[in-house]
Structure 1
Amino acid sequence: MNYLDEFKKFISSYQLSAGIRITLGAVLPSLILQHYNLLSEYIAFPLGTLLLGATDSPGPYARRRNALLIAIGTYFLVALVTDLLRDYPFIIFVEIIFFGVFFSLAGVYGNRANNIGLIALLVFVFNIDDHLSRDLGLRTVLIFSLGGLWYFILFLVLQKLRPYVLIRQLLGENFVELGKLLSIKSGYYATKPKYEELFSQMVHQQVILRENHQNLREILFKTREFVNESNTTSRTLMLMFLDSIDLFERILNSQQDYHHLHEAFEETKILRLFGTYLRWLSEEIQQIGIAVQSGTPSKPKHNLDLAFNKCARSFDSLRERRMDHENIEDFIMLRQILNRMQDITERIKKLHRATSFDSKLGQTLDVNVNLENFIPKQDYHPRILLDNLSLKSAHFRHAIRVTLALLIAYLISITFEFGHGYWVLLTIVTIMKPAFSLTKQRNIYRIGGTFTGLIIGFGLLYFVQDGTALFLVLMFSMITAYTFLKVNYFIASTSITLYVILCFYFIHPDNLHGVLQDRAVDTALGSLIAFVVSYYVLPLWEYAQINQYLKGALLANRAYFDIVSLRYTGQHVEIGRVKEERKNAIIAMANLSDNFEKMLSEPKRQQPHMEEYHQFVATSHMLTSYVASLSFYMETTDFDDFKSEFEAMIRQIDRQFEVAVNILEGRTVDPIDLTREALPQNQKLVQLLANRKKEVRELGITHSAQGTDRKRISDLMTINGLFELISTITIDEIKILQVIMKNNTGHN
């Protein structure tokens, strides 16, 4: 994507709109208060707006509304209790223990509850001394709550005025990220591709798409009118989301043996031509995403029909010149790639038309899935919290670490003289996460961002004297901070530091030097405490959890394979069940990838078997891709007369899955004979292929191409090859798991 498209994407993104909404929500009342010289006295009002705005996250309207109301009530109670008990130092330690554990454990109820818990801790920290309320007490608590209520009213008004804007923004972002996935995929067709680098990029991109899909599913399937209403906009948005899921599957199931592909066709230009066309397709998908975000019809950047026809002609020409009875399988592989590109092309053309929100297109929506199975479910029963009160729980360990770090920081802040001691606690709350890798990353970004912001702020105040210019910088830094808060913490931390300095400059210009010094010292101290506690106190390293993600990915892939393979034994399979298992497999695969990526950021001594884990992650991704490819042919090919051959292959593969699960669960299994056992050969297909080769040898390419079995043989060859690849990968996973479990046993 070029810089202009990136800019268009940014200005129409959800992140920027959220940043502007939070900033304006805080700045507008601040300007009014400043006009009447009341801002210093009522500073709690914009602070309440900012904190409640930071709680808000994408989701269905009802869930966002309820979460904001719960947050307002929670923050009021926390601020009130903290204010009433502020003068009793011993009680403050009790508060830190209670609030630190309780609100850190809120993450067991999902991201939305975790956000509320995190901001509740910030509210507690902001009110732990009297820098906000001075001697006004309850009045300041009420002003703070009114600031939150103002943001809630702003949310309701904007939701009423622009009910579809969030869906458009998230759906558009989903298409942009999908286009990037296809762009990475095109790299496999370049000369001498860097396979490891491309694979890592594919894994990372799929994790991003998994998160986008979860947000969109929750909003679309939980909002009834998107499914049931005849509203053109809602139905078209639902249609585009479902098409994006299918498009994601098409990209996912286009996995090939790229090493063999380059060996067979490297000296020709056709792979580079295919790669260029795939990049064009990726640009079209991203163009659709930008159009959906901005609410305008998309315009194709390329003539896809002309470009695809060029690819098809090049394939036909190469086929006529090079294909013979010995390399027919290679050209079948190339033909399948061409067919996939044609399928993706047609879907992109349909999506281009959908961005005009034509009512006729919206009426074609057929959800064809059990929506209840696609809606993310969250149980809020108290037993979940109680069940996590154990050192086996990662959430509870995190809660203890946060609480201990806050106790240490508070003890230091009251023992030594600090101008803004609560900043130490704020730093700890904002950077400590359950995973050490995330805490480490945010720690680095927090320190780097803080000192960068201090340098920029000092330079601005030294060289710029114009109050209007500084106010504009303040506005820009606030928007930037809340735009990148959940996207790039370094930029957010830099911007937060900058606008805090400017705020102090406007409110208390006489004490600016002390503010700069306190910000640096407090941030450094908070980061040090957070790092030491995260590293040494009840750490839960990712390798201790990875086996459950290995098992999750293995079982999900097995369930996906089992439901797809039923069709190849002659049984009827509902497409909704296939999509459900596909979703589960992709989520399990993304969870495993996410866990592995976190391991890479941990200390080296906490990274055992990294090579084996990396191999398993790679094979899991390939396995999901191959099963997805198998599902593509479920309804397109007649293979009832091949049922017996496929049944034998499916039984063998299922046995391999069973052995892999047994090894992972620690059962005594000797899989040596199984791994040496060849997959049953498809004798009928061997005979069909032999006949086809004979036709090519005797009749030549042109005349043999008229045979009625050509397309069927091509599809059956691909299906048979997919079964063989799935079998090979499951055997590889058995061998990988043997090494991992054997080393683990020896270590224990």
Structure 2
Amino acid sequence: MKFPKNIVATSLKDLSEFVNSTDFSKAILLGIALTLPIVAGVKLDALDIGIAVTVGAMLASPSDVSGSIRHKITGILLATLLAMIVSLIGGYLHLSLWLVFPILGILMFGISYLSIYGFRASLISFSGLFALVLSFSNFSDVIQPYERMLLIGIGGLWYAALALLRHFIFPKAPTEYYLSKTIKLTADYLRTRGELVAETADRTPLLKKLLNTKTELTNTHETLRDILISSRTGSGKSDYEGKRLLIFVQLVDMLELAMANPVNYAKTDEFFRKKPAQLANFQELLFAMSQRLNIIADNIATPKKLRKSSKIEMFAKRIKDDISEYAAASNEIYDENLLLLRNLFKYQKEQIKKLEKIEWLLLNPAKREISTLKKEDSRRFLTKENYDLEVLIENFNLRSPIFKHSLRLAVMTMIGYGVGILFSLQNPYWILLTLIVIMRPTFGLTKTRSKERTIGTLIGGALAVGIVLITQNQTVYGILAIASLVIAFSMVQRNYKAGATFITLSVVFIYALMRPDIFNVIQYRVTDTIIGAGLATLGNLLLWPAWEIQSMQKTLLETVKAYRVYLEEIIGYYNTKGTVPDQYKVARKKSFLEMSDLSAAFQRMTQEPKSRQKSLDKVYEIVVLNHTFLSSLASLSTYILNNPTTPASKNFNLVSERIVQNLKRAESILKEEIPSQQIPETESTEDIFEATFGKSIPFSEDEKNSTSDSFHSKMEEAHLVREQLKWLLAMSEKMPKLLREIEF
């Protein structure tokens, strides 16, 4: 049977991307870290010691996530220290069955609660939870708990040393991978924008796709920002890192420019319905830029292989000719459609410049030809976690999702261990392991993980049975155990179901090397996983459930606040001009991050039971409104930043202040500072806008008779600023009204 060439090419491309990913390289590193101590233990007749060191390496590995090497090594060492302390305590828990349950619950709560400090802290917390669970396994009757603690510490240091070695051998690998990923996601975003330009009966699926792409892109921006900026601030200025940081800056600007493409689809639909050829050219230009970005991403490490392409230039010329032809045929002095086309094309030309700048930077220009960012300036763009003790105290209540999650996990692990003891299960700690891996602060994520973990375990168990029936060769088991482990760790973040399948295979074959009753091992593995998954789902459903609508109010508040600050920075820059302040860029970054958090929160909400999806339609409406509002802000700021503009008018400031006040009103509603009945109904947006700006753009007769470029530029500015302000005002007026309709 022959497969189509395009399917084969796509599969090979996906395989190549997977092999080059940081997940795969980490899995290989972990495979080495876990295998060598055991091999050394077998050779030296000290298998118990080898296993203990391997456990230490495994417990240190979760903190090995993308970011600067300094943050990574700090996380690994802290995870190792926590694992050592917890292993020592856990080693003595078996002395009294009555002490096991309360101490298990207290430790589970305390360790899990550390994740209040953010993502990296949650990984360190997981290492502690994992260490506590493994302390119940009694993998050695020879080694004392304090000796095991020391060996776990050695294993953690061993893994840290390997992580450092990988960094020194492949220092550019994380930067290249995440830069390539960012470029590809930007390409996807541009392509989706191109698809949205076309008139369609329902844009909802494309808008959802756009939101998801933007969320992933913004999160990748954060990872890449940490890698690039932290490495510069920690090791001094590097030409390579400096140029990559400038490429990253271009990509951030491209996202803002892409968001600035038409937000008022009703007007573009009306125009392009009459001019389908011009629509096709605009679309093809976006598609050509998307394709070029994908080519750049594939050749990020070998930019000399990039070949010149004339497609972008060809479509840009067609659009320019179309606009010239339309302008020549138009008899109107103020043609709104002509201004729409010119402004739209202006954005595309800016995108082309950004793309060309990326290619130029990749070709390694001389240092004197570029101006790199100062370390002290770039440091402001890092998102810093607050590690003060007050954070623990402030969240020590049932209003905190992490507090409720920690309490829930503590109760369910005590119940899970009790079930294992009561029914004399072979490895009751497997139930605990399933619980700490599956349980998440929200019901939707827990339900999804429970389902994927159960399916993956069943598939893995079935595959293991088939392999055991075919062969009973110990060497085959050893090879499969290592290979499965590497694949499992490389897949767990990409496809949890596949990861669970290979984890099951790995566990089964590791046990098969040590004991003959492999079918019992498979049976107990499946049973314990089903019990653990069931308890995790029930726990999130019955014990202090944290429904997404409960935290949506805070998420929306942070988003609206970020937009207000961003808008205030735009207003300030339009009034003063000059150099773009860092505060503006930080405000823009904050707005993008908050929008991504809001989109992710809505996605989690859709995974919850229907009965708990309160005001889902209204929440979706406010999420889309927020995304559109940010797009309009980006459109306004992009024009002001990239074009010579006239001084901000009094009317601009009046309407802008009105928008700011509307956002503050929305914040007050979300803070529950203003009872809804005390908020006055306002006049219509159209009346407010026209009372301030008038019904048309005021130009003198001399200006209207002018054909100069300066007049056209002034007219474009007036049109775009007017349209975006009107659009922002309408949305800001709608926002408080819509928020009052949502039952939080």
TM > 0.5 fold call: yes
Q: Secondary structure at the match of 2:171?
A: coil
What aligned pairs does 1:132-147 form with structure 2 within 5 A after superposition? 132-138=139-145, 139-147=147-155
**Larger mean Cα displacement after TM superposition, 14-23 or 514-523:** 14-23
Aligned CA distance change for structure 1 residues 140 and 645 (closer, same or farther; 3 Å)? closer
In structure 2, the gaps of 5 or more residues are 1-8
User: Does the aligned pair in 2 maintain the 1:449–1:492 contact within 8 Å?
Assistant: yes
- 1:327: how far off? 8.8
* Equivalent residues of 2:444, 2:604 under 8 A apart: yes
For 1:172-218, what per-residue CA distance to the aligned partner results, in whole angstroms no more than 9, with x for missing partners? 22222222222221211345264111111111122212222222223
Determine if contact 1:23/1:50 at 8 Å carries over to the other structure.
no
Q: Secondary structure at the match of 1:726?
A: helix
1:616 aligns with 622
Q: Is the 8 A contact 2:460 2:505 kept in 1?
A: yes
**Partner SS for 1:23:** helix
1:255–1:622: 8 Å Cα contact kept in structure 2? Answer: no
Q: Is the 8 A contact 1:569 1:640 kept in 2?
A: no
Deviations 1:447-487 (A, max 9, x none): 11111111222223333566666555444322221112223
From 449, 455, 468, give the equivalent of 1:448: 455
Q: Is 356-365 or 172-181 further displaced after alignment?
A: 356-365
From 566, 584, 588, the counterpart of 1:582: 588
Q: Is the 8 A contact 1:168 1:295 kept in 2?
A: no
In 1, are the aligned partners of 2:52 and 2:151 still within 8 Å (CA)? yes
CA distance in 1, matches of 2:195, 2:683: 36
CA 354–11 in structure 1, closer or farther in 2 if over 3 Å, else same: farther
Pick one of 273, 279, 282 that aligns with 2:281. Answer: 273
Alpha-carbon separation, structure 1, partners of 2:228 and 2:671: 37
Structure 1 window deviating more from structure 2 (525-534 vs 669-678): it is 669-678
CA distance in 1, matches of 2:103, 2:63: 22
Cα–Cα, structure 1 residues 266 and 6, in superposed 2: closer, same or farther, change >3 Å? farther
- CA deviations over 1:652-708 (Å, ceiling 9, x no partner): 32332233333333314334224454214535962339888x76xxxxxxxx86654
Q: Tell me the matched-pair count.
A: 729
1:625 shift after superposition: 1.3
2:62 is aligned to 54
Q: Structure 1 residues 228, 43: CA separation in 2 closer, same or farther (over 3 Å shift)?
A: closer
Matching residue's letter, 2:698: Q
Instruction: Tell me the equivalent position of 1:716.
Output: 718
3-state secondary structure, aligned to 1:633 = helix
SS in 2 for 1:365: coil
Give the counterpart of 1:251 among 258, 270, 273.
258
Matched, 1:10 2:18: yes
What is the CA-CA distance between 1:513 and the residue it aligns to?
Answer: 0.4
Shift of 1:102: 0.8
Q: Is the 8 A contact 2:198 2:269 kept in 1?
A: no
In structure 2, the CA distance between the partners of 1:639 and 1:506, relative to structure 1 (3 Å rule), is same
Tell me the residue number matched to 2:4: none
Distance 2:256 2:308 in 1: 24
Q: Name 2:536's counterpart in structure 1.
A: 530
* Closer, same or farther: CA 171–438 of 1 in aligned 2, 3 Å: same
Moved more, 681-690 or 101-110: 681-690
Structure 2 match to 1:350: 357
1:604 aligns with 610
Which residue is equivalent to 2:500?
Answer: 493
SS of the residue corresponding to residue 239 of structure 1 reads helix
Equivalence for 1:701: none
Q: How does 1:511-550 map to 2 (within 5 A)?
A: 511-550=517-556
Distance in 1 of aligned mates of 2:534 and 2:32: 34
Offset, 1:317: 6.3
Greater CA deviation, 73-82 or 397-406? 73-82
**Conserved 8 A contact 1:431-1:442:** yes
Deviates more, 1:552-561 or 1:320-329: 320-329
Q: Does residue 291 of the first structure (1) align with residue 299 of the second (2)?
A: yes
Offset of 1:730 from its aligned partner? Answer: 0.7
Tell me the residue number matched to 2:699.
688
Contact 1:207 1:594 in 2 (8 A): yes
Contact 1:388 1:396 in 2 (8 A): yes
Relative to structure 1, is the Cα distance of residues 326 and 739 closer, same or farther in structure 2, using a 3 angstrom cutoff? Answer: farther
Report the CA distance between 1:378 and its aligned residue: 1.8
2:186 pairs with one of 178, 189, 193: 178
Which residue of 2 is the match for residue 101 of structure 1?
109
Q: What is the identity, as a one-letter code, of the residue corresponding to 1:118?
A: F
Q: From the superposition, tell whether residues 363 and 208 of structure 1 become closer, same or farther in structure 2 (CA, over 3 Å).
A: same
Distance in structure 1 (CA, Å) of the matches to 2:262 and 2:475? 56
- In 2, distance between residues paired with 1:284 and 1:464? 50
What is the correspondence of 1:43-122 to structure 2 with a 5 Å cutoff?
A: 43-122=51-130
Which residue is 2:204 aligned to? 196
Following TM superposition, by how much is the alpha carbon of 1:636 offset from its aligned partner in structure 2, in angstroms?
4.4
> By how many angstroms is 1:631 displaced?
1.2
Q: Check the 8 A contact 2:327/2:338 in 1, yes or no.
A: no
User: Which residue number in structure 2 is paired with residue 673 of structure 1?
Assistant: 682
Work out the CA distance in 1 between the residues paired with 2:199 and 2:631.
Answer: 23
In the other structure, the counterpart of 1:424 is 431
SS in 2 for 1:100: helix
Contact 1:8 1:290 in 2 (8 A): no
Q: Deviations over 1:92-121 (max 9, x none)?
A: 213212211111101111111111111211
Structure 1 unaligned segments of length 5 or more: list them. Answer: 696-703
8 Å Cα contact 2:34-2:58 kept in structure 1 = yes
Letter in 2 for 1:176: K
AA at the equivalent of 2:179: L
Q: 1:234 aligned to 231, 234, 241, which one? A: 241
RMSD of aligned residue pairs (Cα, Å): 2.8
Counterpart-to-counterpart distance in 2, 1:310 and 1:34: 70
Query: Structure 1 residue 630: deviation in Å?
Result: 1.2
CA contact (8 A) 1:40 1:507 kept: no
Distance change (3 Å), C-alpha of 1:635 and 1:150: closer
1:524-572 Cα shifts (integer Å, max 9, x gaps): 0011111111100011211111111112111111111111012334566
Distance 1:731 1:23, change over 3 A: same
Alpha-carbon distance between aligned partners in 2 of 1:69 and 1:368, rounded to the nearest angstrom: 27
Indicate conservation of the 8 Å contact 2:60/2:80, yes or no: yes
Q: 413-422 or 367-376, which moves further after superposition? A: 367-376
Letter in 2 for 1:338: F
In 2: Cα distance, 1:316 partner to 1:255 partner: 17
8 Å CA contact 2:59, 2:83 repeated in 1: no
Structure 1 residue 77, shift from structure 2 partner = 1.6
CA distance in 1 between partners of 2:412 and 2:460 (Å)? 25
Equivalents in 2 of 1:265, 1:105: separation in Å?
55
Residues 99, 336 of structure 1: alpha-carbon distance in 2 compared, 3 angstrom cutoff = same
Match of 1:378 among 377, 381, 385: 385
Superposition pairs for residues 332-481 of structure 1, below 5 Å?
332-360=339-367, 363-366=370-373, 370-463=377-470, 471-481=478-488
Structure 1 residue 517: deviation in Å? Answer: 0.1
Provide, for residues 39-92 of structure 1, a one-character-per-residue CA deviation record: whole Å limited to 9, x for no partner: 477333323222211232222222222221222222112112211332221222
User: Of 42, 45, 50, which residue of structure 2 is paired with 1:42?
Assistant: 50
Q: Distance in 1 between matches of 2:309 and 2:320?
A: 18
Q: Hey, what's the Cα distance between the residues in 1 that align with 2:234 and 2:332?
A: 53
How far apart in 1 are the matches of 2:417 and 2:405? Answer: 18
Relative to structure 1, the CA distance from residue 738 to residue 41 in structure 2 (aligned partners, 3 Å threshold; closer, same or farther) is closer
User: Using a 3 Å threshold, how does the CA distance of structure 1 residues 543 and 13 change in structure 2: closer, same or farther?
Assistant: same
Distance 1:503 1:295, change over 3 A: farther
Residues 274, 466 of structure 1: alpha-carbon distance in 2 compared, 3 angstrom cutoff: farther
- SS of 1:364's partner is coil
1:483 aligned to which of 486, 490, 504: 490
Corresponding residue number in structure 2 for 1:699: none
Mapped contact 1:106–1:113 kept (Cα < 8 A): yes
Q: What CA distance in whole angstroms lies between the structure 2 residues aligned with 1:512 and 1:455?
A: 12
Q: Is the CA contact 1:443–1:531 (under 8 Å) kept in the aligned structure 2? A: yes
CA 1:47/1:705 → structure 2, altered by over 3 Å: closer, same or farther? farther
**2:290 maps to which of 282, 292, 306:** 282
